[in-house]
Amino acid sequence: MPEVSRFLGIVIRMFHRGEHGPPHFHATYGGKPIRIEIETLTSMDPMCHSPRVLGLIVEWASRHQAELMENWRLAMERRPLNRIEPLD
């Protein structure tokens, strides 16, 4: 699964396989995965991370929603994904 960003111990990835469901990305922190829906920026895995970690992920995603949607399109076409700037 290609990594598109990494910040503060959080790794952001997207699958290249034909995933079903709404456009989303995968974040991992401390070995725990979470899926975030791109359009609504809501967790598809409730109670998976602390509010602080979830807040950082959502803050980053809100700054990069258009880039995340573009990467989703590329992933569905099985094309290389673009790197996205980390949270600074």
What is the per-residue pLDDT across 10-55, written as a single tens digit (0 to 9) for each? Answer: 999 998 776 678 999 999 999 999 999 999 999 998 777 788 999 9
Residues contacting 43, CB < 8 A, separation 6+: 34, 35, 36, 37, 49, 54
| pLDDT at site 42 | 93
Among residues 85, 59, 61, 76, the alpha carbon closest in space to that of 19 is found at: 76
What confidence score (pLDDT) does residue 80 get? 95
pTM, two decimals, is: 0.91
